Chains A and B, each alone.
Chain A
Amino acid sequence: MLAGIGAGTLGALLGLGGGIFLVPMLDVVLGLPFRTAAGISLMTVVATSSFVSLDANSRRFVNPRLAVVLLTQTVLGASLGRLLLPLLSDEVSGRVFGVTALVVALVMLHRLRRRNVILDPLAPLGRLGSRFFDPDNGADVGYRVDRVPLAMALALLAGVISTVVGVGGGILLVPALNSWCGVPMRAAAATSVLMIGITAVPGVIGHYVDGYLTLPVLEASAVLGVLTGSRLGFWIAAYSRVVVLKLLMAVILIGVGGAYLYFT
């Protein structure tokens, strides 16, 4: 349950599924088979997404139109990833992910102080732009989604990588949307959580049908922990400055990317 709380907190705070921390915890520390750990982790991703899509505080950051447009690419990417899976070795997949994560982290650090918000209430926001109350400015702000083809390509890549490497696409999608496509950090995180929850549904069904979800008490503990952690994550996010969230994201990217490069 503690691991679930941690994963849920990070999920709600930064738009990550939390699987990147939960899977090693369940697999290495608790000694569960990898596929069982992955199945429980996917279940917790869906739980975090469910919370984000229904909680009044988090709903105002979600951009459903952007999510739907990007989901067409992410789900396609996940299917392409399954075709690529037999062609790529674990070593190659791990290194590609490690290098990608480090590049994204460096871009994020380079643009640490840049805010993507538009303060003018009359400024046109385009078909995919949105508006939300920004705690950093204490006012309603808007944003436009720039470079939509790039955002769609990144969503496709996130779908491929999530299947090939076995991590949620959020760890790449959130910093990429924030750094390259003009989406503010809070909106990118909330939209990403909604997206990865929807993308994870076929995976949960697959793990269930294949018989990997066989520990009901542990599954219930993890999901209830994640739901508690999601609430904690949004509470922390409300009192955190965006630059702190970005720094935390960059540190996680460097740590995870470095670990993939070192261990593969």
Chain B
Amino acid sequence: MTSPPDLPLADPRPPALPRIALFAGVALLSAGWVVGLAGGDASRSVVRLLVDLGLAAVVSVPILSLVGVMTVEWQRRRRAFAVAAAVVLAMLALNALWRG
């Protein structure tokens, strides 16, 4: 039932950092959602802050996962895949800067 141990994402135990980021994101978004529904105009800036932090945490998860793949492939001396992951990260950064 298990996958080969050399495939990083196929390991059923997810890495800690992206998992913490997702939990934090869900908690912040849930808090923002509840405050947004319950509070009035006065709470608007609090809701914006909570949701912005939550969205930032969720957006960081795929990037942290990609960094995880890069690290594991580098450690296992499969350098071509690690370099490919680094190239993707660089292209994403350029893409975000170009757009922003």
A154-191 interface bits toward B, Cβ cutoff 8 Å, 1 = contact, 0 = none = 00000000000000000000000000000000000000
| Bound complex: CA A206 to CA B84 (Å) | 24
Min Cβ gap A92→B in Å is: 23
Does A192 belong to the interface (CB within 8 Å)? no
List of B residues within 8 angstroms of A133 by Cβ: 1-3
Do B3 and A203 touch (CB < 8 A)?
A: no
Q: What is the CB-to-nearest-CB distance from B88 to chain A, in angstroms, rounded to a whole number?
A: 5
Given A50-B22, A220-B29, A224-B30, residue A201 in contact with residue B62 (CB < 8 A) = yes
**A91 at the B interface (CB under 8 A):** no
Q: Point out which of B10, B19, B52 has the most chain A C-beta atoms below 10 A from its C-beta.
A: B10
Considering the chains assembled together, what is the distance between the CA atoms of A217 and B70 in angstroms?
35
Complex formed: what's the CA distance from A55 to B9 in Å? 10
Find out whether the CB atom of A209 lies under 8 angstroms from the CB atom of B100. yes
How many residues on A have C-beta within 8 angstroms of the other chain's C-beta atoms? 51
Enumerate chain A interface residues (CB-CB to B < 8 A).
43, 46-47, 49-51, 53-56, 59-60, 62-65, 67-69, 71-72, 75-76, 78-79, 82, 130-133, 140, 194, 197-198, 201-206, 208-209, 213, 216-217, 219-221, 223-224, 227
Task: Please report B residues at the A interface, Cβ cutoff 8 Å.
Answer: 1-4, 7-14, 18-19, 22, 25-26, 29-30, 32-33, 36-37, 47-48, 50-52, 54-55, 58-59, 61-63, 65-66, 69-70, 73, 78, 81, 84-85, 87-88, 91-92, 95-96, 98-100
Question: Can you sample 15 A-B contacts with CB below 8 Å?
Answer: A43-B58, A43-B59, A50-B22, A55-B14, A64-B69, A71-B84, A72-B91, A198-B65, A201-B63, A201-B96, A204-B55, A217-B37, A217-B47, A220-B29, A227-B26
